[in-house]
């Protein structure tokens, strides 16, 4: 499924027309039309607005992985998500890549996070083992 198809799915799940989403997100109507036709892909600011107003993750919109359309994000609705310039630049660069390259980068980032989590668990287990060894 492509970005345009996921965007349409998210809009349908919320019962939003292009005009309604345009009014809500402040994304120009014409831009939304272009996204839905597959003529353009959303830039970083548009991705943030779409994520916020459709309650979807940017990862899901870009790659189809992660939270699906219509699923509320874990973040409370009254709490805004803040992105710094570095975050927005990264999103802009990712948006310019081909979908397969984005998927590959996402898989690499997920693998890196799994390694970090495993290293943390290993350190915790090692510390627990040392404590047990020293008490016995």
Q: How many CB atoms lie within 10 A of CB 1?
A: 9
pLDDT value at residue 67: 60
Q: What angle do CA 80, 86, 89 make, to 5 degrees?
A: 100
- Structure-token match 């992105």, residue found: 83
- Residue 64 scores a pLDDT above 60: yes
Residue 18, SS3?
helix
pLDDT tens for 13-24 read 888 999 999 999
**Distance between CA atoms of 80 and 83, rounded to whole angstroms?**
10
- Residue 7 scores a pLDDT above 90: yes
According to the per-residue pLDDT averaged within each range, which of 20-29, 66-75, 96-105 is highest?
20-29
Going from N- to C-terminal start, the domains of the chain cover 3-96, 98-136
Average pLDDT, the chain: 85
pLDDT value at residue 32: 96
Please state the rounded mean pLDDT for residues 115-128: 88
CATH of domain 3-96: 1.10.260.40
């Amino acid at each position: 499924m492509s970005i345009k198809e996921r965007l349409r799915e998210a809009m349908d799940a919320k019962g939003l027309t292009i005009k309604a989403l345009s009014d809500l997100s402040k994304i120009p109507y014409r831009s939304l039309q272009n996204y839905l036709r597959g003529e353009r892909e959303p830039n970083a600011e548009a991705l943030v607005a779409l994520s916020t107003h459709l309650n979807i993750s940017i990862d899901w919109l870009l790659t189809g992985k992660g939270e699906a359309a219509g699923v509320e994000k874990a973040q409370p609705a009254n709490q805004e998500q803040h992105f710094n310039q570095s975050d927005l630049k990264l999103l802009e660069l990712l948006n310019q890549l081909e979908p397969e390259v984005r998927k590959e980068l996402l898989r690499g980032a997920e693998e890196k996070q799994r390694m970090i989590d495993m290293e943390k668990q290993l350190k915790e287990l090692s510390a627990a083992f040392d404590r047990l060894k020293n008490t016995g």
